[in-house]
Structure 1
Amino acid sequence: MFELSGDHETFRKVVRDFAERELAPHIAQWDRDRHLPVETVHAMGDLGLFGVNVPEQYGGSAGDFTSLCVAIEEIGRVDQSIGATLEAAVGLGINPILAYGTEEQKEQWLPDLVAGRALAGFGLTEPEAGSDAGATKTRATLADGMWIINGAKAFITNSGTPITSLVTVTARTGDDEISTIIVPSGTTGFTVEPAYEKLGWHISDTHGLSFADCRVPEENLLGRRGNGFRQFLAILDEGRIAISALAVGLAQGCLDLSVKYANERHTFGAPLGSRQSVAFALSDLAVSVEAARLLTYKAAWLKDAGRPAAQIKQAASMAKLYSSDAAMNATRTATQVFGGNGFMEEFPVARFYRDAKILEIGEGTNEVQRMLIARGLGLPVA
């Protein structure tokens, strides 16, 4: 029988207490102000959340990927923007350097990222290359020991905060090759565009990026030249599991809030939860939350167990597909249970409703997940 370890559950309580104490009282105001509080990022670093699965030599606690998913779920249960900040900081900021960086690159960048003193972004998506990441147009030409980068990126998380230290970007380094290159913040020719006005994730930092003859040293290449496509596919597999954990957190948050409201709210002389229609809706929601959680942690367990990449990829796509759909459905159920109050921004379910949709889009749309699952089944889908 599958279950998380005692250490995982103890860690879950620590993160939940932190989220309830340090985040919950302030989220509504941060959301209204569209403000990512740097001091909160530092506090998350002090708690060790950014270094959960990072080796001790770089300041981490050498835990497993499952522990990271627990942390993301519990933060996401209170707020999706902060959960996304954590997910992107580790999955897209730290993990590429940890997985593919040289020892010098790891020693230069990881300690501050792990400690929460800095954040990093991953520049993959482009204005004309989203799901079709192989259509990357950003180019990097090597000349006199320097990479000269030209192009643009879109929707890049953690790319423009006051403590962003770098962005790893994918670029064509030849007609038939894509590589990944570390671009430090403040590099001449690297421009962080104004923040997007988003439907949800108001606290999360998201920008477009542009590169105009941006020059970085040759040694800023991350991993082997031409291996960028393979690298970001592996990074996305992990990211899909992490996004799935974020979706589980949202769905659980909706369930918790709805059960509490259904017990406290009285209509026609009885608790709202005594109405069969409400009770059944929340029962169905509880089932979907549990199913999403099991799919997510199975995928995380496969990653920790070192199972074959194809098996992890299939499990990651299944988890991301189901959990993000479950989260979207959870917000509809919760908003309906809350009735008119669910349409008011003073209630967290309204924020969850806005935040949920991106879960079906980010880290590969759900249409892409279905395509990947079909390929895993051996179907000749294009």
Structure 2
Amino acid sequence: MTTLLAILVAVGGLWALAYIGAPLLVTSAAIGAYIVALYGLGLMGPTAFAVTGGLFAVFAIALNLRPIRRLVTKPIFAGFKAVLPPMTSTEREALEAGDVWWEGEMFRGRPDWNMLKSFKRTQLTAEEQAFLDNETVELCRMIDDYKTVYEDRDLAPEVWDFMRQKKFFSMLITKEWGGLGFSAYAQSCVVTKIATKSITAAVTVMVPNSLGPGELLTHYGTDAQKEQWLPKLADGTEIPCFGLTGVEVGSDATAIPDVGVVCKGEWEGQEVVGMRLTFNKRYITLAPVASVIGLAFKLQDPEGLLGDPDKTDYGITCALIPASTPGVEIGRRHYPSGAFMNGPITGEDVFVPIDWIIGGVEKAGGGWRMLVECLSAGRGISLPALSAAGGKMAYRLTGAYSRIRRQFKLSVGKFEGVQEATGRIAGLNYRLEAVRTLTASAVDNCAPSVVTAIAKYHMTEMMRQSLTDAMDVHGGRGIMVGPRNYLSSAYQSVPVAITVEGANILTRSLMIFGQGAIRCHPYVFPEMEAAREDNLAEFDKLLWGHIGFSMNRGVRALTLGLTGGALAKAPVDGPTAKYYKQLERMSTSLAFVSDVTMGILGGELKRKERLSARLGDVLSHLYMASAVLKYYEDEGRREEDLPHVRWCLDDSLNAIYEAFDEFFSNFPIGFVGSAMRRMVFPFGRSYRPVSDALTGAIADMMMEPTELRDRLSEICYLPKDANDPVGLMEVAFDKLIQVEPLYNKYYKALSKGELTALTLEDRLVQAVEQGVLTQAEADQVGEYDRLRYEAIMTDAFTKEYLAGTAFHPEADAETVSEEQPAKVA
């Protein structure tokens, strides 16, 4: 019994030391003290003490004295260098670009919740709020989205002029150069609001404020370049575009075939050193109307004119070129899933001065770093803003429609099958807003690269799901294109968000975990650097720290699994505390599984894209779930938010389980996958899908005129004008809330056959005669029912209009003359 107790104490002590992550020296001292204690208590004889103590001393000295330990490390170091995959300069620049932020805490397995709790969400300044409330609202009011997308296929001239005059294209340019100098969060809010009215206008605004000449000049331009271009970009005199992608180049931007050859040539009557450019760009937003082009190409200097005779290939370089430069072909349009300006740019042997390189000659070859550093900010602002807008409008309008629209004598939003879709819209909308606010605020404080990739991929996918669900609920009302249809243009534009700034498939399968595992891990990238620098001493320190880190995360993962996360920490009390603990448990599990996977598969993991994608999903849902908890705290821990918080967290935890489950099932070495499964989920499945009751609860809330509904729709452009398609639904919904008890009395009498007249007017007369309603009540019901009918009505067109020989889409008209004004209701 004494021996068993001693063994249990030893195992328990080592387990505790591993769980808390005790340093090697502390662990060694504890083991030594334990051996001495056994001898002192008479539980170990002199011979056993001498043998055990001697062996332990040898190992302790070997592992704690670094010069001796390096003898053990040296063959490991040689093997590591032998299998280390080569890294190109572009891969290195992509890895080094940006900062590691909160995603690093979630990846490393022991998140510092106080870091998240103390992080201050960006607040709009008075100037930014005024711009959102005034200029942005005025811009939305000017836009006829149906006319823009389906008739003109362009924004109206007065809209273009207004955007120039009010500096919508220069929100990121500082006041020093005449721009607005808005925060990333403010830019996100502006783009979100515009997108709730017009995706075309939102894309037009967001591109100059994302990856483009303005941002590149701000960060990298020479003083002369800034003075020449930034004031003109700020006041709208110049419209920019950025030429990166092409026929053969999409997500793999480093493969661009476009070239610039350094040579001498004539410019403005003088011989100068310049570049002869040949390029063929496609999919370039704003190209058809751009006056200045940011151009990415591969720079060659065969004659050594840049001063280095041994360097010919400089790599990707960015230059700023006026669209009027001789040889540049620009102006033709693609027609993507939307009406925004997008088109090709081509040039053959276009000669330009060398000082047109952004940043000057010293930035020759520095284009890739510029692009990856600026691209992450765009991913964190523009596309999340579009996605949040889609989620907000799906939430607001589907909630109203599902209460207004009745089938089988019941509001369609009360059907459980419909609630599966509407509840998902509600939950995703809450998550979208939480991730939007946190990510945009992060961009205001640093340049997070992995976080913005997570936001780009998952938010655009959530928007796709929300709009698909909204279309399903609206049925024929969503299918029929026309001025009344507020869903069709957004739904049609979903592929744009899915595709741009990194195709979603590759963002998920290659970027999120591929970049996150190396950037967020405290040891992997430093170990790689130590190996490339042949620094054995540094590698030795990192290697043994890494071994301790892995043991700690493995022990923590199993311990938290066995206890259901009970030992994890939560920074708050109350109903959300359990979710913090579960996120810490899964964070620890991700760190453990990642280490095992990278240790076994090594460079092969780069080709196991589906495995990488699943671990990326775990990291992503850890980030999004923590964003939801942060949003709940920042919004004041309101009681009415809790069902949405629970839905988001339950859904994320289930998604994490599903990702891990598929990862373990498909791990190339079956018994290793099984062993990891038992470590992470020792008692089997830990999380379940969101319950039907919770989904139904938030679906019901979506149809109520609550403070939460208004808060989640706060940024939306929501006119109270029955001649606007969104305004009509708003007016009808507001009226329903006022008269619903009366309307239900009328509808009940109608359903029971007490009102037999064929028209609404005659039925209301009967209702008054029979005492079902007073005359005043009947007037209110009649007003609402006419609004209701218009709100669920779809458009119909004359054959002349659809053939293009008449130009006004007046609904349900037999003939349309060119003099008749278009109208909605």
Q: Is the 8 A contact 2:211 2:371 kept in 1?
A: no
Give the Cα–Cα distance (whole angstroms) in 2 for the partners of residues 193 and 116 of structure 1: 18
Which residues in structure 2 correspond to 1:304-343 (within 5 Å)? Answer: 304-306=444-446, 309=447, 312-343=448-479
CA shift, 1:97, in A, is: 1.9
Q: CA deviation at 1:9?
A: 5.6
Tell me the SS of whatever aligns to 1:121. Answer: strand
Q: 1:381 aligns with which of 606, 617, 622?
A: 606
Is contact 1:77–1:251 with CA below 8 Å preserved after alignment?
Answer: no
Deviation of 1:191 after TM superposition, in Å, equals: 0.5
Instruction: Quote the residue 1:143 is aligned against.
Output: 263
CA deviation after TM superposition for structure 1 residue 333, in Å: 0.8
Retained in 2: the 8 A contact 1:272–1:278? yes
SS for the counterpart of 2:229 is: helix
Q: Which structure is higher in helix share?
A: 2
Give the number of the structure with larger relative contact order, counting CA–CA contacts within 8 Å between residues 6 or more apart: 1
* SS state at 2:207 partner: helix
User: What is the rounded CA distance, in whole Å, between the counterparts of 1:291 and 1:372 in structure 2?
Assistant: 22
Pair 1:247–1:21, CA change in 2 (3 A) = same
Q: CA deviation at 1:35?
A: 1.4
Could you list the runs of 5+ residues in structure 2 that have no partner in the other structure? 1-116, 265-272, 301-312, 519-597, 599-604, 608-825
Cα deviation code 1:166-193 (max 9, x no counterpart): 1111111133511001110111111126
The 2-side partners of 1:179 and 1:172 are apart by 6
The separation in 1 between residues aligned to 2:392 and 2:237, in whole angstroms, is 30
Partner of 1:180: 318
Query: Is residue 42–residue 117 contact of structure 1 (8 Å, CA) maintained in 2?
Result: no
The 1:127/1:360 distance shift into structure 2, 3 A limit, reads: same
Q: Offset of 1:142 from its aligned partner?
A: 1.8
TM-score of the aligned structures, taking structure 2 as reference length: 0.43
Q: How does 1:119-268 map onto structure 2 within 5 Å?
A: 119-144=239-264, 145-161=273-289, 164-174=290-300, 175-192=313-330, 194-198=332-336, 200-202=337-339, 204-223=340-359, 224-241=363-380, 242-268=382-408
Greater strand content: 1
The answer for unaligned runs of 5 or more in structure 1 is none
CA contact (8 A) 1:295 1:318 kept: no
Describe the SS at the equivalent of 1:226. Answer: coil
TM-score after normalising by structure 1: 0.91
Q: CA deviation at 1:324?
A: 0.4
Which of residues 138, 141, 146 is equivalent to 1:21?
141
| Amino acid of the structure 2 residue aligned with 1:159 | A
Distance 1:287 1:4 in 2: 23
Q: Secondary structure at the match of 1:146?
A: strand
Shift of 1:304: 1.0
The aligned residue for residue 672 of structure 2 is none
Q: Which deviations, in whole Å up to 9, do the C-alpha atoms of 1:24-65 show, x marking residues without a partner?
A: xx1101101211334313312333432323211211232211
Are 1:30 and 2:148 matched, yes or no?
Answer: yes
Distance 2:162 2:427 in 1: 34
Contact 1:296 1:316 in 2 (8 A): no
Does residue 97 of structure 1 match 2:217?
yes
Match of 1:85 in 2: 204
Inter-partner Cα distance in structure 1 for 2:122 and 2:410: 38
**Counterpart in the other structure of 1:301:** 441
2: CA distance between counterparts of 1:11 and 1:3? 19
Quick check: 1:295–1:315 contact (8 Å CA) kept in 2?
Answer: no
How far apart are the structure 2 equivalents of 1:293 and 1:238?
A: 18
Output the CA distance in 2 between the equivalents of 1:166 and 1:11.
27
Check the 8 A contact 2:314/2:364 in 1, yes or no: no
Compute the displacement of 1:280 (Å): 4.0
Distance 1:3 1:38 in 2: 37
In the other structure, the counterpart of 1:71 is 190
State the alpha-carbon separation in 1 of the partners of residues 172 and 343 from structure 2.
Answer: 27
Q: What is the deviation of 1:118?
A: 3.0
How far 1:302 moved relative to its partner? 1.8
1:43 to 1:325, Cα distance in 2 relative to 1, 3 A: same
Distance in 1 (alpha carbons) for counterparts of 2:261 and 2:250:
23
SS at match of 1:288: helix
Contact 1:140 1:173 in 2 (8 A): yes
- SS for the counterpart of 1:152 is strand
- For residues 39 and 102 of structure 1, do their structure 2 counterparts lie closer, same or farther at Cα, with a shift above 3 Å needed? farther
TM-superposition CA deviations, 1:283-316 (whole Å, max 9, x none): 221221221222233222222112xx4xx01110
Q: Aligned residue for 2:180?
A: 61
- C-alpha separation between the residues in 1 aligned to 2:460 and 2:224? 38
Aligned partner of 2:227 among 95, 100, 107: 107
Structure 1 residues 288 and 16, CA gap change in structure 2 (3 angstroms): farther
Letter in 1 for 2:422: L
Name which one, 1 or 2, has greater alpha-carbon Rg. Answer: 2
2:287–2:331 CA contact under 8 A, matched in 1: no
Aligned residues: 372
Contact 1:72 1:86 in 2 (8 A): yes
1:112–1:253 distance in 2 versus 1, CA, 3 Å: farther
